Structure 1
């Protein structure tokens, strides 16, 4: 089955895109797919941060807790988002420096 592994993607155009959506298990983090939702950013953030509207779109997707799609006590992890984006998401609510387990 060839399809997108992520639940959601956020483009540099400021729009969020459905991959698998809220109700279909992703295929993005081996051994953790059953209990995670993955939001991926489209772009390279090794040297430049994403545009503000891309960050805003990602934060809108975090509404999953209000929709009852994810636990309100969720943990936010960053897996290889590039150093500039990684520094940004570490400041967001629910950030966890633990490993995804």
Structure 2
């Protein structure tokens, strides 16, 4: 009986710890096929920049949001300067 109670308490504690929220979507391995997607982008410029940094981009220049709600700018990736876009879903594309 003691083991049953202990198991129940332990499993409840583990379940409670796994519930988290995130202000940004987790990085995706593959971008959506039609990215960058137009839409109301709730990312700030700083969040879009952080998303790029989390995906290996450095030397990120100023990002500007276009009329489709897509953040665009330049950055360095694998030693090359590239033009990048971050859409409302967090998809990163190179142009």
Q: TM over 0.5, yes or no?
A: no
Return the structure number with greater strand share: 2
Higher Rg of the two aligned structures: 2
Q: What is the TM-score normalised by the length of structure 2? A: 0.29
